[in-house]
């Protein structure tokens, strides 16, 4: 019996393997990962781990002993060279491993700055794996000049950590505002003010023209002609799904590895889950980059390998930690036409509620867990409160959740 092989040894892979064993799956389970560490958490890398507040072993999702005790084989430091869907083989160089089911949990890779503009100079970093952080950490010294390229959540989190460590930070975002792709203007404005209050210089509507230096980065020229002296660069310009193996094997791809509602790819016996997988969701093909999605989609695929036949229908949620602020997001705000701001009960807390007409789409809650939980529950139930009720800070959110509410057409 060949069992299940999982390519990738991250959050989704670990969740899938554990779910298989918990569900009574008895055939072999093998996780294959390029890195030499067992499956670990990525969110703390650019925060607690970079700050030196978390030891390496605490990053691990489970102790290595768990995998041995559960009969899960870890093949670490072992890059897969190709997949043969017809023969049902995974190739690691000259070695070929047979499978009954193959799960692609390959994740996503950070986009790098082009070599043509200096992206290959020493001192230019992306933040994805343990090796990235361990190379960067010794250089994050007080007084060092850091350029952050990209004003999404990764860039903003990196800027916050750098300021905590005493670096001088300039952040450039070529779009008109930070967080433009993922958040409403109200949330962008809130986080811009937060970072500026901590001494980050933010330049919006300005791109990076090129980096300068012989072998190590020494300066940057921006699209508006500004020249900066810098010591380090962190690129936070998004990620791309790791779909190369699938594409080379003739498996359907498009902004990720295309899967059906149960997680099956176009090749029989091959599944995908996590950051690399694009799945059908409310009339569109969606790819989510989040811990929640990696775990829940992987567990759904595990159940379906064991015959559950269950469709994956997530209620997305996310978080970001910056300085002493915890941002919690429920839902997806794309397509909203207005935003309602609700002050929180504590100083410095606020939430932004996204609506499309009368329908609630998402909530951004800054240091306001009550607003987040209320919005998350409403979205899970397919309910939408009146915008006027949300805007009224005297209106109790718990009462709104208990009260009869109109059902939304889409949930």
The answer as to whether 410 is a domain residue is: no
The answer as to whether 311 is a domain residue is: no
Does 142 lie in the same domain as 79? no
Output the pLDDT for position 12: 98
Give me the mean pLDDT over the 227-246 stretch.
97
Boundary-marking domain end, from 235, 256, 288: 235
Provide the edge-to-edge strand list for the sheet that holds 277-281: 257-258, 277-281, 284-286
Split at pLDDT 50, 70, 90, the class of 406 is: low
Question: Each residue of 304-330: pLDDT tens digit?
Answer: 999 999 999 999 999 999 999 999 999
Split at pLDDT 50, 70, 90, the class of 411 is: very low
Does 345 lie in the same domain as 263? no
- Domain carrying residue 21: 4-109+239-305
The answer as to whether 146 is a domain residue is: yes
Question: Each residue of 28-75: pLDDT tens digit?
Answer: 999 999 999 999 999 999 899 999 999 999 999 999 899 999 999 999
Does 153 lie in the same domain as 84? no
Question: Each residue of 146-186: pLDDT tens digit?
Answer: 999 999 999 999 999 999 999 999 999 999 999 999 999 99
Boundary-marking domain end, from 184, 217, 235: 235
Give me the mean pLDDT over the 374-378 stretch.
95
The answer as to whether 319 is a domain residue is: no
DSSP assignments along 348-410, one per residue? T-EEEEEEETTEEEEEEEES-HHHHHHHHHHHHHTB---HHHHH-TTS-HHHHHHS--PBPS-
The pTM of the full predicted model, rounded to 2 decimals, is 0.94
Does 247 lie in the same domain as 163? no
Question: Each residue of 337-366: pLDDT tens digit?
Answer: 999 999 998 998 999 999 999 999 999 999
Does 103 lie in the same domain as 29? yes
CATH number for the domain spanning 379: value is: 3.30.390.30
Largest CA distance in the chain: 68
Does 87 lie in the same domain as 48? yes
The answer as to whether 344 is a domain residue is: yes
Alpha helices in 264-349 (DSSP H): 291-305
| Position 287 pLDDT exceeds 90 | yes
Does 369 lie in the same domain as 290? no
How many domains, in total, are found in the chain? 3
Does 158 lie in the same domain as 224? yes
CATH number for the domain spanning 192: value is: 3.50.50.60
Provide the edge-to-edge strand list for the sheet that holds 338-343: 317-322, 325-331, 359-366, 350-356, 338-343
Output the pLDDT for position 76: 97
Boundary-marking domain end, from 190, 215, 235: 235
Q: How many CB atoms lie within 10 A of CB 376?
A: 20
Split at pLDDT 50, 70, 90, the class of 405 is: low
The answer as to whether 123 is a domain residue is: yes
Output the pLDDT for position 1: 65
CA distance 194 to 111: 26
Which percentage of the chain shows pLDDT scores above 90?
94
Does 155 lie in the same domain as 220? yes
The answer as to whether 169 is a domain residue is: yes
Does 173 lie in the same domain as 119? yes
Output the pLDDT for position 131: 95
| DSSP 3-state of 288 | coil
Output the pLDDT for position 404: 63
The answer as to whether 260 is a domain residue is: yes
Does 100 lie in the same domain as 248? yes
Q: pLDDT higher for 346 or 297?
A: 297
Does 184 lie in the same domain as 143? yes
On whether the CB atoms of residues 304 and 261 are closer than 8 A, the answer is no
């Amino acid at each position: 019996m060949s069992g299940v092989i999982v390519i990738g040894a991250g959050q989704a892979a670990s969740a899938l393997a554990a779910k298989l064993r918990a569900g009574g799956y008895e055939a072999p389970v093998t996780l294959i990962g390029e890195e030499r560490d067992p499956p670990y958490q990525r969110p703390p890398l650019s925060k607690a781990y970079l700050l030196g507040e978390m030891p390496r072993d605490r990053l691990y999702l489970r102790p290595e002993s768990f995998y041995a005790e559960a009969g899960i084989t870890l093949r670490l430091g072992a890059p897969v060279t190709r997949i043969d869907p017809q023969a049902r083989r995974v190739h690691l160089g000259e070695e070929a491993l047979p499978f009954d089911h193959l799960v692609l949990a390959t994740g996503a890779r950070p986009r790098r700055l082009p070599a043509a503009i200096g992206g290959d100079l020493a001192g230019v970093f992306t933040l994805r794996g343990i090796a990235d952080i361990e190379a960067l950490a010794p250089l994050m010294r007080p007084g060092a000049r850091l350029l952050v390229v990209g004003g999404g959540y990764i860039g903003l989190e990196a800027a916050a950590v750098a300021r905590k460590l005493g670096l001088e930070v300039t952040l450039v975002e070529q779009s008109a505002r930070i967080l433009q792709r993922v958040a409403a203007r109200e949330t962008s404005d809130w986080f811009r003010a937060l970072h500026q209050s901590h001494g980050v210089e933010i330049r919006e509507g300005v791109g990076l023209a090129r980096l300068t230096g012989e072998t190590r980065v020494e300066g940057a020229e921006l699209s508006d002609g500004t020249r900066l002296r810098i010591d380090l660069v962190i690129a936070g310009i998004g990620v791309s799904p790791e779909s190369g193996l699938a594409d080379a094997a003739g498996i359907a791809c498009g902004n990720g590895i295309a899967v059906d509602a149960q997680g099956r790819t176009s090749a029989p016996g091959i599944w995908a889950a996590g950051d690399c997988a694009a799945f059908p969701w409310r009339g569109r093909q969606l790819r989510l980059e989040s811990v929640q999605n990696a775990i829940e989609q992987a567990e759904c695929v595990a159940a379906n390998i064991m015959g559950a036949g269950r469709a994956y229908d997530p209620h997305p949620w996310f978080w970001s930690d910056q300085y002493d602020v915890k941002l919690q997001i429920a839902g997806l705000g794309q397509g909203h036409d207005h935003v309602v701001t609700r002050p929180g009960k504590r100083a410095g807390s606020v939430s932004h509620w996204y609506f499309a007409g009368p329908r609630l789409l998402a909530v951004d809650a800054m240091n306001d867990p009550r607003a987040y939980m209320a919005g998350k529950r409403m979205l899970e139930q397919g309910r939408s409160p009146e915008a006027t009720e949300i805007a009224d800070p005297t209106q109790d959110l718990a009462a709104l959740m208990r009260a009869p509410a109109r059902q939304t057409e889409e949930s």
